Amino acid sequence: MAKLPTPHELMASRKDFPAGSWLDVKPEFAPGSFCYPAKVETMERLHMPHPHEWDPAAEDWNLPDNWEKILCDAFEERLEKHRSLKLFMDICVRCGACADKCHFFLGTNDPKNMPVLRAELLRSLYRRDYTMLGKLLGVSVGARGWDKSVVKELFYYAYQCTECRRCSLFCPYGIDTAEITAIVRELLHEVGLGTHWIMDPVKNCSFTGNHLGIQPHSFVEIVEMLADDCETITGIRPKTPFNEKGHEILFITPSGDVFADPGIYTFMGYLLLFHELDLDYTFSTYASEGGNFGSFVSFNMAKKLNAKMYAEAERLGAKWILGGECGHMWRVVNQYMATYNGPAPSCMMDVPTSPITGTRFENAASTKMVHIAEFTADLIRNNKITLDPSRNDHIITTFHDSCNPARAMGLLEEPRYVLKAVCNNFVEMPENTIREQTFCCGSGSGLNTEEIMELRMRAGMPRGNALRYVQQKYDVNHMACVCAIDRATLTPLANYWAPGVTVSGLHELVGNALVMKGEQKRTMDLRQEDLPNVDPDEPEDDAEQGEE
Amino acid sequence: MKIHDIFRPQKEAVISKWIEAVYATYPLETTGFLRTRKDPFTNPVGDMTHEAAGRLFDAVSGEDTDPVTVRQAIDRFVRLRAVQKMTPSQAIGVFFLLKPIMREQLLPLCTGDRARAAYLNAESRLDSIVLLAFDMYTEARETLAESRITEIRSQCAQVVRWAQTVDGSPVSGKS
């Protein structure tokens, strides 16, 4: 008769020293720990290699017959193409400086989520084919060959890295583990392995311009609905220029700002700000997506989806591009766009210059793209807009540095400058969780899908933990950020780790505080929630409302 | 002599053993890091475990049995284990790992009928904490499930709102 296990046995306490090496411990594909696979028809429409039906939880992933040759050849091709990859494979001395810097490791406590070991999954394969010692001594020097379980392992861990690059910050050699993850994902695509959450938006972007695949006329109507909401709140209906030629500025933002809560309130902030400035700008329904999920697939797919930015700027005759609050869009723009699709069209001005303040954004001379936080910070510094931060007095806010703007473009001060101008109560999270050392939301790089919600909650734990700390110590009840994925994913993260903290974009708070010429008395914020301490029946004080 | 006068001098020894038992539920390669890093943001799992351990001991010994403070102290720890890759019994049963440690460290010190009875009460308090943690675990899992539903709705909230106006009816209220 079977015996009931003791509590100790149920805990499955491991032995003091495990029998096998860490490389021999294989991941278990339990529901909640992997993303759903891409649909065959999606992969076919995008002409991806080897589209096929497969299930991550199944034993057999139906790989093509010559899968090993495909992967070896693809790896070799990339080693030839990217000198950085070859360098990253060779120079790691396994010092471990990166090991405990990854939010996935801190949340899962899975050793293979240490960036050094995640990269070692690929490096061990490299060692067998490209190093003398590996060829001669094999396993004893950490070299191994390809087999199907290795492919599964690569998939499992390449999609437990958000390419946030926090580990790179601590690497004495500057190894960019995100690049290694990106290459592993590229390799897996060579044998038809991709995820639905990434490939579906890629398909939609390819055919209709934005992640949800909303047709141009519908896109315009949705934006007009948001303009109607602005009118309800302020009494002013902001203009919504679309696809108009001859404007100085083309504005591009992630489509999540148009479709998703709470991003839409950030978008309303943009509309109100641009209207107040009487900015000479246009939206585009073709370049209606700032995000680039292609950058989570392959070099070529990222290049393809990025191309519409310059193409549309050229078609519409824009002098420069103003970019909205997005994360990975800015990494693509700052680090890859020149290689993908540069140089910028000749119709664009040498140095983007603010038509309101005359400030020349020298930092954007190469890309011709200015981040909206820089643009607004410049407006505030030059006293070009009137703000009433007391409208945000019910908020005690902190600021989450989104990984890509912080680490890939150094955008650290501008959002804080804006935030302090529109909110009277601002508190920083602990030093080792912000700025360059910011912790990822745990859902970037195409992992913001609901089937892995529990994985996201453990990966986002270091961020949630720091947020909870300032919530309890300083009564923080709000977190601002400048990334569309963050706005969507920090909301459940905050709800889980620090219930009671709301999440918004920076320009939602700007829109709340912005005093517009001729506006009605504000009694509600952009979410149409009543502003505290405002009596709707009390006549407004003209002196406080600026020019009437 | 009150039971917590017997328990208190043993606090450090007992909680350090329990913390070791918790760390032993993670892979060997991870344990060293959990043990050595002290910063609460560099090693949040270690910090959560330490926070839970101290209060767990105080509650079991009968020094502070206020359910509100007990809940607060084990909240992060339970939330963490509710989303880490483990079964529900592994997530919550970890509190039971205190029992063999208590029997080894504390029971021999409880001589006499009154002390024995007080010791059994302490074990019962541990059982109550596990039940409390079970409720908290379930709440955390429900939050997780609700988050999935809310997120699916939020992702395209504005599109749904727009679709409802396609037949010409005006937009009513917020989405």
- What single-letter DSSP state applies at residue A121? H
Cβ atoms of B95 and B40 within 8 Å: the answer is no
- Domain membership flag for residue B53: yes
Domain that holds residue A420: 387-515
Complex ipTM: 0.93
- Domain membership flag for residue B157: no
- Domain membership flag for residue B156: no
Say whether pLDDT at A545 is over 50. Answer: no
A492 → closest Cβ in B33, B41, B151? B151
Amino acid identity, position B92: I
Domain that holds residue B127: 3-145
CA distance A1 to A3: 6
Amino acid identity, position A221: E
Nearest Cα residue to A262 out of A322, A323, A325: A325
Token pair of B49 as six digits? 């475990």
* β-sheet bridge partners, residue A140: none
Q: At A414, which CATH number?
A: 3.40.50
Amino acid identity, position A79: L
Say whether pLDDT at A444 is over 60. Answer: yes
Task: Say if strands A478-481 and A397-400 run parallel, antiparallel, or are unpaired.
Answer: parallel
* β-sheet bridge partners, residue A360: A353
pLDDT at B28: 85
> Is residue A261 less than 8 Å (CB to CB) from chain B?
yes
Give the model confidence (pLDDT) of A149-178 as tens digits: 999 999 999 999 999 999 999 999 999 999
Count CA within 13 A, CB hemisphere, residue B76: 26
> Using the beta-carbon criterion (under 8 Å), do A10 and B89 form an inter-chain contact?
yes
Nearest Cα of chain B lies from the Cα of A236 at a distance, in angstroms, of 18
Instruction: Out of A194, A217, A247, pick the residue that ends a domain.
Output: A194
CA distance A490 to A463: 9
Nearest CA in chain A to B48: A465
Q: Which residues 144-163 on chain B approach chain A with CB closer than 8 angstroms?
A: 144, 147-148, 150-152, 154-159, 161-162
Residues A125 and A268 in one domain: no
CA distance A149 to A455: 21
Residues in chain A with CB shorter than 8 Å from the CB of B25 are 11-14
User: What's the structural domain count of chain B?
Assistant: 1
> Is residue B94 less than 8 Å (CB to CB) from chain A?
yes
What residues contact A194, with CB distance under 8 A and at least 6 apart? A37, A38, A43, A48, A188, A297
Residues A123 and A254 in one domain: no
Residues in chain A with CB shorter than 8 Å from the CB of B165 are 221, 225
Nearest CA in chain A to B146: A492
Say whether pLDDT at A543 is over 50. Answer: no
Give the model confidence (pLDDT) of A86-123 as tens digits: 999 999 999 999 999 999 999 999 999 999 999 999 99
Cβ atoms of B131 and B92 within 8 Å: the answer is no
Token pair of A455 as six digits? 């994985």
> Using the beta-carbon criterion (under 8 Å), do B41 and A491 form an inter-chain contact?
no
CA distance A146 to B41: 37
CA distance B103 to A76: 60
- Domain membership flag for residue B109: yes
Range name among A3-7, A56-60, A81-85, A338-342 with the lowest pLDDT average: A3-7
CA distance A4 to A325: 56
> Using the beta-carbon criterion (under 8 Å), do B28 and A17 form an inter-chain contact?
yes
Cβ atoms of B24 and B77 within 8 Å: the answer is no
Rounded mean pLDDT, A498-506 = 97
Most confident of A391-405, A531-545, B1-15: A391-405
Q: Which residues 406-435 on chain A approach chain B with CB closer than 8 angstroms?
A: 430, 432-433
Nearest Cα of chain A lies from the Cα of B22 at a distance, in angstroms, of 9
Say whether pLDDT at A544 is over 70. Answer: no
| Torsion (CA) A244, A250, A252, A258 in degrees, nearest 10 | -40
Q: Which residues 9-48 on chain A approach chain B with CB closer than 8 angstroms?
A: 10-14, 16-18, 22, 25, 28, 30, 33
- Domain membership flag for residue B100: yes
Residues A413 and A483 in one domain: yes
- Domain membership flag for residue A201: no
User: What's the structural domain count of chain A?
Assistant: 3
Angle between helices B113-155 and A484-497 (to 10 degrees): 160
pLDDT at A181: 96
Q: A283 in helix, strand or coil?
A: strand
Residues A459 and A355 in one domain: no
pLDDT at A42: 97
Q: How far is CA A456 from the centre of its chain?
A: 14
Angle between helices B67-83 and B44-61 (to 10 degrees): 140
A528 → closest Cβ in B80, B148, B174? B174
H-run or E-run covering A271 = helix A263-277
Compute the C-alpha angle A254/A256/A259, nearest 5°: 130
- Domain membership flag for residue B159: no
Nearest Cα of chain A lies from the Cα of B90 at a distance, in angstroms, of 5
CA distance A275 to A195: 40
pLDDT at A445: 95
> Using the beta-carbon criterion (under 8 Å), do A33 and B150 form an inter-chain contact?
no
B159 → closest Cβ in A18, A214, A461? A214
> Using the beta-carbon criterion (under 8 Å), do A259 and B157 form an inter-chain contact?
yes
Q: At A354, which CATH number?
A: 1.20.1050
Nearest Cα of chain A lies from the Cα of B157 at a distance, in angstroms, of 6
Nearest CA in chain B to A472: B72
Nearest CA in chain B to A452: B148
Residues A76 and A102 in one domain: yes
Say whether pLDDT at A12 is over 80. Answer: no
What is the residue-level pLDDT of chain B in tens, covering all 175 positions? 678 888 999 999 999 999 999 998 888 888 888 888 889 999 999 999 999 999 999 999 998 889 999 999 999 999 999 999 989 999 999 999 999 999 999 999 998 899 999 999 999 999 999 999 999 999 999 999 999 999 998 888 888 888 888 766 655 444 4
Q: Which residues 57-86 on chain A approach chain B with CB closer than 8 angstroms?
A: none
Count CA within 13 A, CB hemisphere, residue A343: 8
pLDDT at B130: 96
Average pLDDT over chain A reads 93
> Is residue A500 less than 8 Å (CB to CB) from chain B?
no
- Domain membership flag for residue B153: no
Residues A220 and A146 in one domain: no
> Is residue B167 less than 8 Å (CB to CB) from chain A?
no
Q: If you count residue pairs, one on A and one on B, with CB atoms under 8 Å apart, how many are there?
A: 156
Residues A278 and A348 in one domain: yes
Preceding amide of A262 cis, omega within 30 = yes
Strand order in the sheet with A502-505: A397-400, A478-481, A502-505
Cβ atoms of A165 and A115 within 8 Å: the answer is no
Nearest Cα of chain B lies from the Cα of A164 at a distance, in angstroms, of 17
Q: At A115, which CATH number?
A: 1.10.1060
Length of chain A: 548
CA distance A441 to A429: 14
Label residue A2 by pLDDT band (50, 70, 90). Answer: confident
B28 → closest Cβ in A14, A461, A499? A14
A7 → closest Cβ in B93, B156, B175? B93
Q: Which residues 108-137 on chain B approach chain A with CB closer than 8 angstroms?
A: none
Nearest CA in chain A to B162: A222
Compute the C-alpha angle A439/A440/A442, nearest 5°: 130
CA distance A233 to A523: 8
Q: How many helices (H) and strands (E) does chain A have?
A: 25, 9
Angle between helices A413-422 and A506-513 (to 10 degrees): 30
Residues A320 and A448 in one domain: no
- Domain membership flag for residue B88: yes
Give the model confidence (pLDDT) of A414-437 as tens digits: 999 999 999 999 999 999 999 999
Rounded mean pLDDT, A458-487 = 97
Residues A176 and A225 in one domain: no
- What single-letter DSSP state applies at residue A16? S
CA distance B42 to B33: 10
Label residue A17 by pLDDT band (50, 70, 90). Answer: low
Nearest CA in chain A to B83: A454
Nearest Cα of chain B lies from the Cα of A140 at a distance, in angstroms, of 19
H-run or E-run covering A1 = none
Q: How far is CA A336 from the centre of its chain?
A: 15
Give the model confidence (pLDDT) of A185-224 as tens digits: 999 999 999 999 999 999 999 999 899 888 999 999 999 9
Cβ atoms of A306 and A340 within 8 Å: the answer is yes
Q: Which residues 157-216 on chain A approach chain B with CB closer than 8 angstroms?
A: 212, 214
